[in-house]
Amino acid sequence: MPPLDADAGNVLPKEVFPLDLIAFRTAIEALDEAIIITSPELNEPGPRILYVNPAFTRMTGYTPHEVFGLTPRLLQGPLTDRAEIHRLKADLAAKGRFFGEAVNYRKDGSTYMVEWLITALHDSAGRIAQWVAVQRDVTQRHQNEATNAHLAAVVEALADAVVSFSLDGTILSWNPAAEKIFGYTAEEAVGSSVTILLPFDRAQELEACFAQARQGETVRFEAVRRRRDATLFDAGITLTPIRNATGRVVGFSGFARDITEVKRAAEHQKLLINELNHRVKNTLATVQSIATQTLRNTSSPEQARGDIDGRLIALSRAHDVLTRENWDGANLHDIVAQAVEPYSSRGESRLHVNGPDVRLSPRTALALAMALQELATNAVKYGALANEVGEILITWSIDQVEFGKRFQLRWEEKGGPVVTPPTRRGFGSRLIERSLGQDLDGEVTLEFASGGLVCVIDATLFL
């Protein structure tokens, strides 16, 4: 190999770079792509490096003096695709040309992705005199492609519709979620105006949002959108400007989510909160009434405490039934069972319950629970449950009437002590006769027959 001129940098003697190609040499030394010129051998030990331009040094970290006379294999390592190297040799031998990509190694051991273009230089006799390789670092491009592929995969997997638009509102891209939410396929949507997604009477709605986005703002809002089948739904939308390399807004990216169920759930939650507030107030009013009326009609604190406890327990039991049903109502069998359960003794059959399945509204269920508690308490003190042989029959039936349904519940006591009509009405009697009648929009009758108390409730069935 001819001696190197230490002061000439990358300049090779004329045997490698003839003087009449000085202008060409100057040009390739100004390139950003690395240029490598090697000897023509392909067999082992392989071609030798005869020339590298300054871009090669910037790309690999090797100076010309470190690589002259060596094989380009010094750029290869464990991550270099061996099959690609075999293809390189085969193409050069068969075609005198190769184009491909491979992982190369810098002097410091770091890797970069390179795009190779290798071609042969022939002498006057047509023989290959040298190989010229142009090497471009495409690491950033591959990283960008990998990032874009990752982002594309994320967009494809999103449950939100992701749609891009041009400045005039033409749809440019359409992910699978957009197809699912709006009903249009990508083939149908791409190239169409974004107005196909708007209700017919709101075609100009997006203009104000586009105007904000053109100024570089991200716009978030809720709006009604239209599906392919013309059905409408509530959507949560984010509109983001898309910028080019100079920062100019060239389009928009839109994210849309069907929030119909979310809004419905929020409205339902608001309704539940209002209903809870209403029920708490009613419950407190009921407790206040129980306390006031009980204290007014009892002769001692001990009796008052027992009566109040019993009535509050009845209220609590009814609440338990309704809570299990999410306060949508309750089955009459469950309400009756909860009311009489404290008075049912194992091994006895003194309480007889019979009637069809009836679904009660929360209001009706609470009113009946309180009434049954009063009847059961009275039966323990003075009626059928005051001795060891008395029995209670609780039956009900449903009748279809012109404007809905009515039900009749009958509480009948037998075998207890002889009943005498009370001289005055206590709170329990008033609760059953007046309050229950009002709550149920019906009639309540109490018959103090000698054989036992009979209570008949005839009321509208509220569902």
* 224 within some domain: yes
Nearest CA to 88 out of 50, 112, 120, 116 is that of: 116
Tell me what the mean pLDDT of segment 273-302 comes to: 61
Of 442, 378, 440, 366, which is closest to residue 413 (Cα–Cα)?
Answer: 378
Concatenating the DSSP letter of every residue in 144-180 gives: HHHHHHHHHHHHHH-SSEEEEEETT-BEEEE-HHHHH
Domain end among 225, 258, 291:
258
Same domain assignment for residues 201 and 339? no
Would the pTM count as exceeding 0.85? no
Residues 449 and 339 in one domain: yes
Examine the domain organization and report whether 134 and 172 are in the same domain.
no
- Note whether residue 192 is domain-resident: yes
The whole-angstrom separation of Cα 167 and Cα 146 is 28
- Residue 183 burial class via C-beta count within 10 angstroms: exposed 0-12, middle 13-18, buried 19 and up: middle
User: In the predicted model, is pLDDT for residue 41 greater than 90?
Assistant: no
User: What is the structure's pLDDT at 6?
Assistant: 34
- Answer yes or no: do 114 and 167 share one domain: no
User: Is residue 153 one of the residues assigned to a domain?
Assistant: no
**360, 381: one domain:** yes
Q: Which of 109, 139, 169 is the last residue of a domain?
A: 139
Tell me: the pLDDT tens digits for 221-254?
A: 888 899 999 999 998 888 888 888 788 888 888 8
**Could you give the C-alpha distances from 98 to 71, 84, 94, 397, in angstroms and in order?**
17, 10, 10, 94
In a shared domain, residues 272 and 392: yes
Cα(148)–Cα(142) distance, integer angstroms: 10
* Pair 190, 171: CB distance under 8 Å: yes
Biggest alpha carbon–alpha carbon distance for the chain: 139
- The residues facing 117 across adjacent strands are 99, 134
Q: Residue 28 sits in a domain of what CATH number? A: 3.30.450.20
| 298 domain residue, yes or no | yes
Helices (H) then strands (E): counts for the chain? 14, 17
**How far is Cα 238 from Cα 219, in angstroms, rounded to an integer?**
6
Q: Count other C-beta atoms under 10 Å from residue 340's C-beta.
A: 21
What mean pLDDT is predicted for residues 253-275? 80
Which of 210, 236, 258 is the endpoint of a domain?
258
pLDDT of amino acid 10: 42
pLDDT for the residue numbered 14:
46
Same structural domain, 87 and 173: no
Q: Which of 362, 373, 323 is nearest to 440 (CA)?
A: 362
Range from 163-172, 184-193, 340-349 carrying the lowest mean pLDDT: 340-349
Question: Domain check: are 251 and 287 in the same one?
Answer: no
Query: Is the pLDDT reported for residue 405 higher than 50?
Result: yes
Residue 147 within any structural domain of the chain: no
Number of domains the chain is built from: 3
Phi/psi of residue 47, each to 5°?
A: -70, 155
pLDDT of the residue at 7: 37
pLDDT value of residue 13: 47
Q: What is the pLDDT of residues 44-66, one digit of tens each?
A: 888 999 989 999 999 999 999 99
Domain extent, residue 209, equals: 158-258
Q: Are 198 and 299 members of one domain?
A: no
**Are 209 and 219 a contacting pair, CB within 8 Å?**
yes
404 inside domain: yes
- pLDDT at residue 91 above 90? no
Residue with tokens 């003697």: 13
- Both 254 and 278 in one domain: the answer is no
- Whether residues 254 and 270 fall in one domain: no
CATH number at residue 341: 3.30.565.10
In a domain, 148, yes or no: no
- Measured CA angle at 314 (ends 308, 315), to 5 deg: 90
CA-closest candidate to residue 338, choices 365, 361, 363, 357: 365
**Average pLDDT in the chain:** 78
Helix (H, G, I), strand (E, B) or coil at 196: helix
In a domain, 434, yes or no: yes
Q: Quote the pLDDT of residue 463.
A: 52
Mean pLDDT, residues 86-111: 86
Cβ atoms of 383 and 415 within 8 Å: the answer is no
Please give the backbone phi and psi of residue 206, each rounded to the nearest 5 degrees, phi first. -80, -15
Query: Which residues make Cβ contacts (< 8 Å) with residue 414, sequence separation at least 6?
Result: 384, 390, 391, 392, 393, 451, 452
> Are 195 and 210 in contact, with CB atoms under 8 Å apart?
no
Q: Which residues pair with 36 in a beta bridge?
A: 52, 133
Q: In this predicted structure, what is the pLDDT of residue 93?
A: 82
The pLDDT of residue 182: 92
Q: E strands, 26-138, where?
A: 34-38, 49-52, 97-105, 111-122, 128-137
Is residue 134 left, alpha or beta, with left meaning phi > 0 and alpha meaning psi from -120 to 50?
Answer: beta
My answer on whether 253 and 272 are in the same domain is no
